[in-house]
Structure 1
Amino acid sequence: MLKSVKKRLPIPGVLDVLDELNPFKVKRQRIMNFNPATSVASRKPAETSKITVFDYSGNGCTEETLVSLEEVFAFRDKPTSTWINVDGIRKDDVHAICQHYMIHPLIEEDILSIGQRAKMDDIGERLFCQLPMMYFNSEASTIDLEQVSIVMGKNFVISFQEDPTRDVFDPVRDKLKIPGSRIRNGTMDFLCYSLLDLIVDSYFSVLDKLGERIELMEDLVQHYPNTRTLARINFLRRQVFLFKRGIAPVRDLVNGFLKSDSNLLEDNVTKYYKDVYDHIIQCNDLADNYRDMILNVQEMYHTQLNLKMNEIMKVLAVVTTLLSPLTLIAGIYGMNFHNMPELATRNGYFYTLGGMGILLVLMILIFRKRGWF
């Protein structure tokens, strides 16, 4: 019995080969925008790295671009406030900075990881937040995401960026150079708020670009409801969903600052974080509206396609109806019976064609009067 069963078993690997050769098989790969914090090795070190330091107080501000990493260590014990911005993430550099500034290893892993969900952590005497910085690529009509990590201590803020060529922090740099500015005379939590506020405000510029593309899609659907337009709609829908998925956790991040009991956060700065919270709520609402709009555009496309198909079917139905009686007459006189009196008529051929033409014109006039075409 066992031998008979074994004989019926397929040759190992045959089903796999047939499955690969199946032309109707659709291969799908689901890419998750999340990696655990332990996947440090998956990040490639940045080709270029740039460290910029703003050391400031109410009396003055100095901006330095450091040549060596060791120069960063001297700013830890200074009585002034320091903002250290690291453009381009390298594992050795991040490890050295975290070791010197006594940043928890879990935070270090989050900084080195990729595809992290926006979050906020309060570990020891350090506040840490991580969120996406977004840019709209006008040439490709895509959204570029850059992961930004911010670590706040008593007298320093360290920000880590992936892309050394662009960011949205120029307004903060300009205000630090202005004597008497709120950032320059404020504490570290106000500087952290300023960085978060600029990142959140940059989301609105991306939303404006997405809104323009959605309006363009509405015009294209009305005039060109074809497969190319559908592909553009699906592509834009993915960009809107990507944007929504990126900014949704930022609300919990800002809420974490509002609920934190850390000594690094002063009560008079909390109202500024509430303002950022209001902005991210508004941004989420707009993203939801745009998501509904792009779904409506997709439904509009299918509606336009159905209307176009109905028009085609209407024309074909009218043509078929017009030709039906003519086909009937031609079929009757094409039966080739010997006892058909009309076949012996001298001008029967012309009479039949004339009658068919008159019938066709009458049907066209009747259909036209009824508004069928």
Structure 2
Amino acid sequence: MAKRPLLPIPDAINPFRVKKQRLMNFNPVTATTSRKPVDHVKVTVFEYNEKSVREEVMPDVQSCLRFSKTDCVKWINVDGVRREDVEIICNNFNIHPLLMEDILSEGQRAKMDEIRENLFCLLPMVYFRPESSSVEIEQISLVLAKNVVISFQDDPDRDVFNPIRERLRNGGTKLRIKGADYLLYTLLDTIVDNYFVVMDHLGERIEILEEIIPRQPNNRTLGRINFLRKEMLMFKRSIAPVRELMNGLMKSENDLLVEDTEKYFKDVYDHIVQANDLAESYRDLVMNLQELYHAQMNQKLNEVMKVLAIVTTLLAPLTVITGIYGMNFDVMPELRSPYGYFVVLGIMLLIFVSMIFIFRKRGWF
């Protein structure tokens, strides 16, 4: 059977050379945000009902404001978060300033809020980078208003929503028939389902390490274990609060949530509970990998000490004999014997062979 490849950890992100970022940043909503400037903002709008769908990529944020007055269900997706753009959208859709500050924040804990006529969800969207075996987390904000869902995300080049876009383009799907609250459920469900995709990749790395440790219990293997442990810890700490978010949605009595949609949020809640349990299990597996590594190192050390002990034991009688005949006394009869040297060598060889035979018979090596 072919050997599985080693974990790819380039020098650029070697766990021994690069300090890991803080897992959670504390950034109160009232604090001035220090978000990095965005080169460009991409705004995509889906306006749809059961019979038709309209998809547009807006040249700027101002162009999407005309959709605030239509009766169709709308999904406004903003890729790239800039304060001026967020302020324009929030002012037009009557979104509370506190929610606007949450959207502009970074490193926030997953949460759910209800202010004015809006329902707000903030949670992590997780990706796995295969070339570095690392977990990357992007904060996404979802705002539910009347007949509209507005999503804000940082990275304009990737997300996990392409299956939703395909379902919107195809007629006859449940997503096209139901309202904006069902669209919110679909977005949350897609984000949570992607957690399992990331955990599948992490599980593969754990399996690879389980095969590597017995063969290569060295410092580089220990580095891989520690790197994976940190990634697993960051992932678990990020998704754990999503359970509270979904619990808040299920208990909400907001008029924007249709009673028929509550069962779908319960399904997402079950998924995030399962994801948290699986993440905890994977964390325990990574800790077991550390114990396996130390056990392998101890076994390797014991084997070395065993060989050294056997060699020392075999040489001990010979050392005693050579020490005795190395004394400078005048009266030592064997020193004058013409065959004394060969007799002593024979006795030493006999003792050496006898000890090896006894050790092998007792199974000591």
Q: Please show how residues 174-323 of structure 1 align to structure 2 within 5 Å.
A: 174-323=166-315
SS at match of 1:41: coil
Kindly report which structure 2 residues correspond to 1:1-373, keeping only aligned pairs within 5 A, or say none: 32-373=24-365
Q: Structure 2: how far apart are the matches of 1:129 and 1:149?
A: 6
Distance 1:152 1:241 in 2: 31
State the secondary structure of the residue aligned to 2:233.
helix
The structure with higher relative contact order (CA 8 Å, sep 6+) is: 2
> 2:41 touches 2:60 (CA, 8 Å); kept in 1?
no
Contact conserved, 2:147 with 2:180, CA < 8 A, in 1?
yes
**Residue 364 of structure 1: CA displacement?**
0.7
Change (3 A) 1:29 1:95: closer
State the SS of the aligned residue for 1:234. helix
Percent of matched pairs sharing the same residue: 57
Q: Which has the larger radius of gyration?
A: 1
For the residues of structure 1 that align with 2:124 and 2:114, how far apart are their CA atoms? 19
Say which is worse superposed, 33-42 or 242-251, in terms of deviation.
Answer: 33-42
Report which stretch shifted further, 340-349 or 285-294.
340-349
Count, aligned residues: 347
Alignment CA distance shift 1:28-1:262 (3 Å): closer
Structure 1 residue 49 displacement after superposition:
0.9
User: Structure 1 CA distance, aligned partners of 2:25 and 2:321?
Assistant: 69
Contact conserved, 1:150 with 1:160, CA < 8 A, in 2? yes
Cα deviation, residue 30, structure 1: 6.5
Q: TM-score, normalised on structure 2?
A: 0.93
Partner amino acid for 1:196? L
Unaligned runs of at least 5 residues, structure 1: 1-26
2 CA distance for matches of 1:237 and 1:283? 17
Distance 1:347 1:212 in 2: 70
Residue identity matched to 1:317: A
Cα distance in 1 between the residues matched to 2:137 and 2:29: 18
With over 3 angstroms needed to count, the CA separation of the structure-2 counterparts of 1:146 and 1:264, relative to structure 1, is same
Seen in structure 2, the aligned counterparts of structure 1 residues 256 and 59 have a Cα distance that, compared at 3 Å, is same
3-state SS of 2:69 partner: coil
Alpha-carbon distance in 2 for matches of 1:28, 1:71: 40
Residue 31 of structure 1 deviates from its aligned partner by 6.3
Please report how far the alpha carbon of residue 38 of structure 1 lies from its aligned counterpart in structure 2 after TM superposition: 3.1
Does the Cα contact within 8 Å between 2:23 and 2:234 map onto a contact in 1? Answer: no
Q: Secondary structure at the match of 1:140?
A: coil
The residue type paired with residue 117 of structure 2 is E
For the structure 1 residues 231 and 85, does the alpha-carbon distance in structure 2 shift closer, same or farther, using more than 3 Å as the test?
A: same
**TM-score normalised according to structure 1 size:** 0.91
2:8 aligned residue: none
What SS does structure 2 have at the residue aligned with 1:197? Answer: helix
Q: 1:30 to 1:191 in 2, by over 3 A?
A: closer
Q: Quick one: distance in 1 between partners of 2:115 and 2:22?
A: 34
Q: Please list every run of 5 or more consecutive structure 2 residues that lacks an aligned counterpart in the other structure.
A: 1-18
Report the alpha carbon displacement of residue 32 of structure 1 after superposing the two structures with TM.
4.0
2:15 is aligned to: none
Supply the AA of the counterpart residue of 1:115.
Answer: G
1:304-353 Cα deviation digits (max 9, x unpaired): 11111111111111000000000000000001100111111112112111
Deviation at 1:29, TM superposition (A): 9.7
SS of residue in 2 equivalent to 1:264: coil
Quick one: distance in 1 between partners of 2:100 and 2:116? 14
Q: Return the offset for 1:212.
A: 0.4
Of residues 90-99 and 36-45 in structure 1, the stretch that sits farther from structure 2 once superposed is: 36-45
